[in-house]
Copies of this chain bind each other. A is one copy, B any other.
Amino acid sequence: MIHQLVQKIQKLQAPVVVGLDPMLSYVPEAEKKKAFAEYGETLEGAAQAIWQFNKEIIDHIWDLIPAVKPQIAMYEQFGIPGLVVYKKTIDYCKSKGLIVIGDVKRGDIGSTSAAYAVGHLGKAAVGSQKIPVFDEDFATVNPYLGSDGIQPFLDVCREEDKGVFILVKTSNPSSGEFQDQLVNGRPLYELVGEKVAQWGESCMDGAYSNVGCVVGATYPKMGSILRSIMPKSYILVPGYGAQGGKAEDLKPYFNKDGLGAIVNSSRGIIAAYKQQAYAAYGPQHFGEASRAAVLDMIADINRIF
């Protein structure tokens, strides 16, 4: 799967992923009104508003980017109707040829992690049937529980040609509380990075491994060290744009071949029409605003090569 992602990145010259993390406050009033008129101010109404919002954005950007990253929490907060739209969004993106990274940050032990791996990347065994479930192409995974929690994901990655991005160093201000703690003089996230490299060895797919990692754009020096610890792992880089990461900070995340990293922007793209730079589009043309923001982001990131 990582090989497919690399090929799409190269073809489009766009090491970029758009985070589909819709908040109701991003959805223009007119769209919300329409959804609430049909379904009421209910979980169904909220889910419908988000679905229409997503669809409009995807229709405007699908040809520019290799991948999207829906954040399941933003759907899960609206319960079953929200999760129905999460699945609909995955399927719609795949129908447009986009690679889908499910930002689910799951992680548990043994059979429980196996259940998550099946639910997101694999196939559920029901009687004599094997049935794909949410069927993302990649999923993000939390490593706090150690190898037991990761192994079932690796098994599914191998069986189904899927991939994972394992949290190593997250982009948030308090990520250092535990991740930066020094263990024999080295921060914990480096140990996690070493494990990622090790886990990835059994999941190679071309020049890179189907086991990637997440390292926030807000810590470029750490990015450089982690790049060298995990040379075969793609780095999914959140934190560009709205969270403060700048293009020049991103260079250390890439390998010399110009590959090895894919940069995420969520709010900066999907709520572009709310920013001064794209305000002229107005809420009625929010999809076009998102397209303009994607084009700007790709140009901005390509400046560093």
Interface residues of A in 2-50 (CB under 8 A from B): 21, 23-24, 32, 36, 41-43, 45-46
Q: Which residues of chain A from 159 to 186 have a CB within 8 Å of any chain B CB?
A: 167, 170-179, 181-184
Given A111-B23, A148-B173, A172-B145, decide whether A124 and B183 contact each other with a Cβ distance below 8 A.
no
**Is A286 interfacial (CB 8 A cutoff)?**
no
Residues 140-170 of A, flagged 1 when their CB comes within 8 A of B and 0 if not, give: 0011111111000000000000000001001
Interface centre among A45, A80, A125, A171 (most CB of B within 10 A): A80
Given A32-B127, A172-B146, A74 and B112 contact (CB-CB distance below 8 Å) = yes
Chain A residues numbered 73-132 whose CB sits less than 8 Å from any CB in chain B: 73-74, 76-80, 82-84, 87, 105-113, 115-116, 118-119, 124-129, 131
Residues on the B chain within 8 Å of A116, using CB: 73, 76-77
Expressed in whole angstroms, the Cα–Cα distance for A167 and B142 within the complex equals 12
- Which listed residue (B84, B128, B146) contacts A41, Cβ 8 A? B128
- Contact present for A170 and B109 (CB under 8 Å): yes
Whether the Cβ atoms of B178 and A133 lie closer than 8 Å is no
The residue in A125, A126, A146, A149 that gathers the most chain B C-beta atoms within 10 A of its C-beta is A126
For A112, A116, A124, A181, the residue with the greatest tally of chain B CB atoms inside 10 Å of its CB is: A112
Question: Given contacts A42-B129, A45-B127, A181-B183, is CB(A108)–CB(B148) below 8 Å?
Answer: no
Q: Categorize the interface residue count of chain A.
A: 35 or more
CA distance A74 to B46 in the complex (A): 26
- Interface 9-mer from A188-196, A253-261, A292-300: A188-196
Smallest beta-carbon distance A115→chain B, Å = 4
Those 5 A-B pairs whose CB atoms lie nearest each other, nearest first: A146-B174, A41-B127, A146-B177, A109-B172, A77-B119
Add 9 more A-B contacts to A41-B126, A73-B113 (CB < 8 A): A36-B126, A43-B133, A71-B112, A73-B112, A79-B87, A109-B171, A148-B174, A182-B183, A183-B188
